[in-house]
Amino acid sequence: MKTNDIGLEIKESKTLVKMLNELLANYQVYYQNLRNFHWNVSGPNFFELHAKFEELYTVANAGIDAVAERILTLGARPYSTYSEYLENSSIKEAKEVKDSKKMVEIVRDNLNELLTLERKTLESANEHGDEGSASLMSDYITEKEKVVWMLSAYLR
């Protein structure tokens, strides 16, 4: 079998690339939802949520870049258009959300969707001997689980 530049079998990497592109698409919609909430949050929790949404979209932006670069490292093309993101994302755009509690619920739910995809990708990366993708997913999972816990505590 033929290998890519980093020595992984191309055929096996295709499965991971598909999963990583799905994660990338979901990450992009999640990111835009955060930008929406950052711009449009109002009410008594404005200051803390405005700052939190900015913190989360800054982290998401770095995560998006790392996923896209991992796809490139595996020798493939990352999705890079809004139409590809929307077509391949299970996370939906959050439109016209005005209630700040609902915004936090959507962010938590979006993170749980990303966690589901990351866990599946981690499992596949481990099966295919792709330590780089596995390590990336493991770090993301640890980070997101803590944020989900915090958002859930906020909503109680």
Instruction: Please give the pLDDT value at position 1.
Output: 64
Name beta bridge partners: 9: 3
pTM over 0.85: yes
Residue numbers of the chain with a pLDDT score lower than 70: 1
- According to CATH, the superfamily of the domain at 10-155 is Ferritin, core subunit, four-helix bundle (1.20.1260.10)
Nearest Cα to 4, choosing from 73, 53, 82?
Answer: 73
Neighbours of 77 (CB within 10 A): 10
Q: Where are the domains of the chain?
A: 10-155
